[in-house]
Structure 1
Amino acid sequence: MADGLTTTLNGLINKLSGLAIPADLSLWQLALPAWFLVCFGVFYWYVFGRRSPFSVDSLRRKGPTEMNMSKRDEVLKKAFSEGRVPKGLDAIVIGSGVGGLTVAALLAKVGKKVLVLEQHEQAGGYCHSYTEKGFQFDIGLNYVGQLHENSLDRVAFDQITEGQLDFVNLGEPFDTIYIGQGQTQRKYTIYTGKTEMEAHLKKQFPDDTEAIEKFFQVMKVCARKTHHLACLKLIPRWLALFLLKTGIADVLSSVYRYSSMSHTAWLDQLTSNKDLHTIFSYFFYGVPPKDSSLYVNALLIHHYKRGAYYPKGGASEIPYHISNTIRNYGGEVLVSAPVRRILLDKNGAACGVVVGNSDSEVEVKAPIVISNCGLFNTFKNLLPPQISMKHEIQERLHRVKPGRGSFIVFCGFDATAEQLDIGPTNIRLYKDNDMNKMMDRYFNMYKDEAPDNVPMMLVTFPTAKDPTAKLRCPGKSCMTLVTMVNYEWFEEWKDMPVTKRGDQYLQYKTRFAKHMFDWACLHFPKLKEKLVFQEVYTPLSNSHFLGAYQGSMYLQHNLDLFDPVFMAKNRCDTPVKNLYLTGQDVFSCGISGALHGGLLCASSVLNHILYWDLLFLKKKLKKAKAKQDAQQAKKKLH
């Protein structure tokens, strides 16, 4: 496409240069087409004139899933040493979550020499898997949406993994929701499909069909206009704030109103059915619906409208293949490399990092530093106090809060999925249908009350989702239980060594785990007798292994975070020159949120909106697919 535009532009210039200019033509009449040509040339250069990381040619033939753990460890567990740092670095990325790996792969593919540094012993962040006693568990990934053929996210993942990721569709229903307890418990199922998702909900709520239709209308707007919110981070900050504060942005798109609108306040106008309120809010992330954004909750449901997917081979397949891409283009991903601080030059610009501990520190220099370790860790822990106290940094920190801590119970069973009567469907359990009261009551409990009163829980079976699990873990099954907790409930043990926090800590987290496991067994009674392994991750585990600030997976996704004015300010570039942010904290939570955080960050670093390139590639692929389908249909007719 760029070559065609170049030919067109050159032809236009040649034609204009050959025209005879009338003597009576005024200066402004000459200036107008000249101004147009200059503007067109600048736009062309900005959109098409620079190297793109995206191309059809970058995809390779998909290889088999690598089952050899030692070979996987060579990719995911390559430890840091000074000798392994590539020479002539262009950029350093702190943290190997999806956001960090994405920006690193994109920069590497346009010729930049990139180094990714991970403080844990394995790359991947919340997307890594760990193996224990013959079981493989995913730390943070449960499923991903928007990965149907030629979707924007699927095209992006294919580009940063060179086409090596393979996703499994989880089928129907992908989620089952239980509300209430005992005899009054209600069961609802969520289906995918452009029309099927809405139709299936209407069957379950026949008295609320109009409310469902209105919600799906808003959901469609939020999904189709998400790029309007992303644009706030890509256009000049002064322009974004001007459009928002003058009200022009609201005239251009309703998504700005939805993003700052209370989810509950809007649902209250829609229906009084509290069960339906729960269905429209069932992706819990620690914020009551009354304090969360209508836009975010609608977008989360829409995310799975075209299918729910799981990476074949487990969550670690994602960092495994992106790491290979980075290395294929001359970069490197090194683990066991805790970054202690960001180096600044005499002008206050980022110029490298210090890696290691107080006994053995190594300085690694690069003209660009990108942080994927979170907004709080970056500004509070990695910068000198005099820099972190800058007004622009403090303003950003004061507008956000750490999310709730995640509490995860990993369970291993000496039985197959068939023997346990489990499947790929995720189970969501809620003790009450008033999520606001339920969550307020729970998060305001005293520390000793909380373990026996967990009000909501996710139950997921990763081995039942993955066809390779029977080869990786023959005769075994895994279950993961997830809920949210207050960091303060565990804070008294935060300064103790990770394996020596004492009996009180063990007893306290075991109380949570027992309550959650017993609750899961009510729905899957065969689990209890086949349990052979159980491990519990608290917010302190997340802080230790993943560097998570206060053990949270992401920022608190409240209305402040999605206020359009703050979204325009919370961008990838920072008040520190040459220091950028990527990942979930830049835009939104989840794998997809981190992916787009990486795309936004790479666009900022390269001063080139990569979404243009991605959209043109998507259009090209869809056109090729339509042509292929037409040819196949023609063959069938003959």
Structure 2
Amino acid sequence: GIHYVGQMQEGSLMRFLVDQLTDGQLEWAPLPATYDAVVLGDPQGAGKTFHIHSGEREYFQRLKEQFPGEAAAIDEFRRLVKSAGRGVVLLGILKMLPRFLAGLLIRSRLLPRLCSFSQLASRSLKEVVDGLTPNPELRAVLSYIFPTYGVLPSKASFSMHSILVNHFLHGAWYPKGGAGEIAFHTIPVIRKAGGNVFGKAPVQRILLDAQGRAYGELRPGTGCSPKWGSFRQHLILPPSLDTPGVSVKKGQDSVDIFAPVIISDAGIFNTYERLLPAAARALPEIQAQLSMVTHSEGGFTVFVGLSGSREELGLEPTNYFMFPGNDLDGMMQRYLASSREEAANNIPLLFVTSPSSKDPTWEMRHPGKSTLAIVTFARYEWFEEWKDKQVHKRGDDYEDLKKTFVDAIMQTVLKLYPRIEGRIEYLSGGTPLTNQHYIASPHGEFYGVDHGIPRMQAEAIATVRAETAVPNLYLTGQDLCVEGFMGALQGAMICASTVLKRNLYVDVAWLKMSLQATSSKK
């Protein structure tokens, strides 16, 4: 789900874009000015809590107040973050330029000289922050948000980190009614434009036509529900280089849907390794893309249902990043290197959030109830033994291992929110296998392709682009750009621009200016 989103302030280009996609029906609730808090150590013992404040000036000023004597380090951090942020447009440029032009630009070696984003992309977050200050607590606080893109500080690109810091500088927002409201208000816009959306219809495979055209027709008839229309059965010819459609599961049957363009948001690994035939997967261009990406770390989530309102339980809309110490990278490395039996005793971070507290409509819809979600990392390999077992039927050993994580996590959460003790009505843990089953993450990862230093290099950015080696097949979403709601939205803009052969960023900016001009005349 979505925990919070930045850049949704009134008047921003991204807010305008989301308003267009949802016909202005999606409402956003702002989080408090202190939208994140960083806990280093035991919250009931000698631990310290540091607060992250919204506002382009306030963000850094509040850090200076919490770290007196560190103004120079914080100012330099600000300069580097802003400098990298100004160059983030490079992500889109390299993906939208013709391949040969992007290649020329990269081979010229001018990018690091002309663009701070490219220059800082090769430096790790840990390297940059360690060079700013010897203060271990400030180092931790400057690095705290790395779990939101899933890469250890020693492996994270500082440019990637800067994207997240800049993203939340003006504050954080949550969709009123929950993340499901995004799809709820987008679907009518799609249908109004002549499209449609099907639920419970997983794509089984991408169909390839040997002649480079759709091998079949859509016609009225019988045999499928009216919602779907009716599809004639077709032979699937040996794969070549063109894609006419997808095979979708409907109940126990498969339905072939044909279209002139196929756009995949399934992720690069699912699209290439699971949905495409082997012959297409072996194409050199596709193998080149796959060679530049790796799976990100798996994740573990605890879902908590509570009896009591936000006020009764002392819950906050602020997100808490909880670390047992200030050596964030060292703790993460030791944890990920541990055995599955030891792992639960060494959990290095928890992201603790209360979705119900962030949604102003929650109390009206669910009076006297509250929720928590707690997120951490977990290696897929710790649970891989049970990957072929049916969900909910993986056996006692799996459930026992899962319970050790849930119990360890809840011990820490109870220190943060002690009033929830005795008020828990629902408690469930989700492992990497849970992610694999419900959201089709190949290795149970939260964020698709790994966001480490290699992904932020100019060559990788230019190589993983919307168009693929299979004509009429395009990639979109967070694997095309970067993780998260806003990253997936940028992936969609880049993909749509590629398909339509026009720069939609220019179109959106022009539309925004035109509507503002019209409004000012009234």
Q: What's the TM-score once normalised by structure 2's chain length?
A: 0.91
1:86-121 CA distance string (max 9 Å, x none):
xxxxxxxxxxxxxxxxxxxxxxxxxxxxxxxxxxxx
Q: How many Å apart are 1:359 and its aligned residue? A: 5.4
Gaps of 5+ in 1: 1-139, 632-638
Percent identity of the aligned residues?
A: 38
Matches within 5 A, 1:540-559: 540-553=433-446, 554-559=448-453
- Is 1:172 the counterpart of 2:33 in the alignment? yes
Pairing 1:151–2:12 present: yes
Structure 2 matches for 1:189-200, cutoff 5 A?
A: 189-200=51-62
1:358 CA displacement: 11
1:511 to 390, 404, 428: 404
1:211 correspondence with 2:73: yes
| Structure 1 residue 423: Cα displacement | 1.4
Q: 1:488 aligns to what?
A: 381
Aligned to 1:73: none
1:329 aligns with 2:180: no
- The superposition leaves residues 354-383 of structure 1 with CA deviations (integer Å, 9 ceiling, x where unpaired) of 112895222111111111010000000111
Distance 2:252 2:10 in 1: 50
Distance of 2:144 and 2:65 partners within structure 1: 18
Q: Quick one: which amino acid aligns to residue 163 of structure 2?
A: L
In 2, the alpha carbon distance for the partners of 1:568 and 1:277 equals 32
Residue 563 (structure 1) aligned to one of 457, 460, 464: 457
Task: Measure how far apart 1:620 and its partner are.
Answer: 4.1
Find the structure with the greater CA-based Rg. 1
1:160 to 3, 15, 21: 21
Q: How many corresponding residue pairs?
A: 489
Q: Do the aligned partners of 1:150 and 1:618 also contact (CA within 8 Å) in 2?
A: no
Query: Does the 8 Å contact 2:87/2:118 carry over to 1?
Result: no
Q: Aligned equivalents of 1:170 and 1:358: distance in 2?
A: 41
Residues 492-525 of structure 1 show CA distances to partners (whole Å, capped at 9, x for unaligned) of 1111111211111111111111111110101111
> Structure 2 vs 1, CA of residues 270 and 623 (structure 1 numbering), >3 Å: closer, same or farther?
farther
- 1:509 maps to a residue whose letter is K
Gaps of 5+ in 2: 213-240
| Structure 2 residue matching 1:335: 3-state secondary structure | coil
Name the CA distance, whole Å, in 2 between partners of 1:279 and 1:622.
Answer: 39
Contact kept, 8 Å, 2:466 with 2:495, in 1: the verdict is yes
1:572 to 466, 483, 491: 466
Of 428, 435, 438, 2:321 maps to: 428
1:141-176 deviation line (CA, Å, top 9, x unaligned): 110001001212111100111111100111121111
Q: Deviations over 1:587-616 (max 9, x none)?
A: 101111011111111011111110001122
Instruction: Flag the 1:183–1:257 CA change in 2: closer, same or farther, 3 A.
Output: same
Alignment correspondent of 2:481: 587
The answer on 1:228 being equivalent to 2:85 is no
Which residue of structure 1 aligns with residue 217 of structure 2?
A: none
Equivalents in 2 of 1:624, 1:248: separation in Å?
A: 42
Describe the shift of the 1:621–1:280 C-alpha distance in structure 2 as closer, same or farther (beyond 3 A).
farther
How many angstroms apart in 1 are the aligned matches of 2:271 and 2:139? 37
Aligned to 1:634: none
Equivalent AA in structure 2 for residue 427 of structure 1? Y
Tell me the SS of whatever aligns to 1:535.
strand
Q: Which residue identity does 1:151 align to in structure 2?
A: S
SS of residue paired to 2:95: coil
Q: Deviations over 1:232-259 (max 9, x none)?
A: 0111111112112112323332221122
CA deviations 1:470-496 (Å, max 9, x no partner) are 122111010111011101111111111
The SS at the match of 1:585 is coil
Q: Which amino acid aligns with 2:180?
A: S
The letter of the residue matching 2:89 is: H
Helix, strand or coil for the counterpart of 1:532?
strand
Over aligned residue pairs, what C-alpha RMSD do you find?
Answer: 1.6
Residue 108 of structure 2 is aligned with which of 235, 246, 262? 246
Alignment check: 8 A CA contact 1:233 1:569 kept: yes
The aligned residue for residue 104 of structure 1 is: none
- In structure 2, what is the Cα distance between the partners aligned to 1:152 and 1:358? 41
8 Å contact 2:37–2:318 — kept in the other structure?
yes
Aligned partners of 1:409 and 1:513 also within 8 Å: yes
Three-state SS of the structure 1 residue aligned to 2:246 is strand
TM-score with structure 1 length normalisation?
0.75
Q: Is the 8 A contact 1:400 1:555 kept in 2?
A: yes
Aligned counterpart, 1:118: none
1:396 pairs, out of 289, 304, 311, with 289
